[in-house]
Amino acid sequence: MTRIIASSIVVLCCSLCALSQSEPSIRPYESAVVQCQIMFESIRWFGPNNKEIIPDDKKYSYNPSSGTLNITHVGESDLGQFGCQNTLINNSEIFPAKLKAIVSPLVPRLQKSYNQVVGDTVTVKCTAWGSVPLWISWFKSKDKESLDENVTSSARPLNMTSYHVASELVIANVSFDSYAYYICVAINQGGNHSGFTNIRVKGKLAPLWPFIGICVEIVILVIIIVVYEKRKSQQDQEDQAKEKADFQSNANDHKGGENVRCRK
C-alpha cells in the first residue's frame, strides 16, 4: 500500500514536471532569475506586491546585458507576477516579467502533537507555499516514514491567497485507532514536501487516574494501619493475660510456702 501511494506521488510530480521542461525547478530559498519580456537599456523592477525592487547585491542584483533580475534566495514574497519598466521614458508601461523557475512547495512545521480524549473531534491545519498549481494530500502512518493510508477525504480546503494553499484534516469521534502520525504532503510541478504531526488518544477516565491512584494509596494505607493496630491489640491482650497468669502462679507459690513454715 505504501509503495503504491509513494509511487503515485512520484508519477504525478514527474508528469507535471514534463509539462514545463523549459523552466527549472528550485527549492525554496534557492537562487532564481526573473526575465523581462522586453530589453531596455535601463530598467526599474517591481515585485509581486507592486513594490519597487532596489537591487542591492544582497538578495536582488540586476544583469544589464541579459535584462534579468537575479534573486539570491527565493522566499514567499517572490511568488507572483513581477514587472519591469523602461526608466528612460516617463510613465512608460510596466511590462510583466516572469520568474524563470518553478518553486517546489514548502510545508512549514506542523504542531508537534495533539493530546485527545476518546470521542473528541480534532482539527489539524497544514499550509504550503510554492508555484501554482499546488495540491495538498493527507496520509496516516504508524511510523511517520511510510504513507500507510490516504485520508485526504477527511480534509477540507481553505481559501488562501495566490501561491498559498491550506487544508484542514478533521477527525471526528476520535478513537484509539486514531492514534498515529498524520502527514501533510504538498505537491506541485517542482516536486513535493511534507510535514507531520502526532495524535495521541487517551481514554475518557484518563484525567481521573491520578485521583483514583491517590485514593487507592490512601485506602491501602488505612487497611495497613487497621490490620497493624488490630494485631497489636491482640498481642497486648495476650501479653496481659500471660502476665496475669504468671502473677497468679507466683501468688499461689508464695502462699504454699507460708503453710509449710507454719507446720514446722
Residue 125 has pLDDT above 90, yes or no: yes
Residue 94 has pLDDT above 90, yes or no: no
Burial 175-186 (b: 16+ CB within 10 A, else e): eeebebbbbbbb
Residue 261 has pLDDT above 70, yes or no: no
Q: Percent of the chain scored above 90 by pLDDT?
A: 32
Strands (E), the chain: 25-26, 32-36, 43-46, 52-53, 60-63, 68-71, 82-86, 94-99, 102-103, 113-117, 122-129, 135-141, 149-150, 155-158, 164-171, 180-188, 191-202
pLDDT band for position 137 (cuts 50, 70, 90): very high
Question: What confidence score (pLDDT) does residue 201 get?
Answer: 92
Question: What confidence score (pLDDT) does residue 39 get?
Answer: 76
pLDDT in tens, 35-71: 887 777 788 899 888 888 888 778 999 887 788 899 9
- Report the alpha-carbon distance of residue 38 to residue 73 in Å, rounded: 24
Q: Strand pairing of 94-99 and 32-36?
A: antiparallel
Question: What confidence score (pLDDT) does residue 250 get?
Answer: 60
Q: Strand pairing of 191-202 and 113-117?
A: parallel
Nearest in space to 113 (alpha carbons), one of 230, 200, 5: 200
CATH 2.60.40.10 segments of the chain: 25-100, 113-205
Q: 209 or 172: which carries more pLDDT confidence?
A: 172
Q: Span 240-250, mean pLDDT?
A: 66
Tell me which architecture the domain covering 113-205 has in CATH. Sandwich (2.60)
**Coil, helix or strand for 28?**
coil
- Report the alpha-carbon distance of residue 217 to residue 214 in Å, rounded: 5
pLDDT in tens, 148-194: 899 998 888 887 767 888 999 999 999 999 999 999 999 998 899 99
Residue 17 has pLDDT above 50, yes or no: no
Q: Span 29-40, mean pLDDT?
A: 85
3-state helix, strand, coil in the chain (%, to 5): 30, 35, 35
Residue 13 has pLDDT above 70, yes or no: no
Q: Give me 180's grid cell.
A: 498515529
Question: What confidence score (pLDDT) does residue 48 get?
Answer: 86
CATH superfamily of the domain spanning 25-100:
Immunoglobulins (2.60.40.10)
Cβ atoms 96, 37 nearer than 8 A: yes
Question: What confidence score (pLDDT) does residue 262 get?
Answer: 47
pLDDT band for position 3 (cuts 50, 70, 90): very low
As a whole number of Å, the end-to-end CA separation of the chain is 115
Q: Span 115-141, mean pLDDT?
A: 92
Q: Span 100-129, mean pLDDT?
A: 92
Q: Percent of the chain scored above 70 by pLDDT?
A: 80
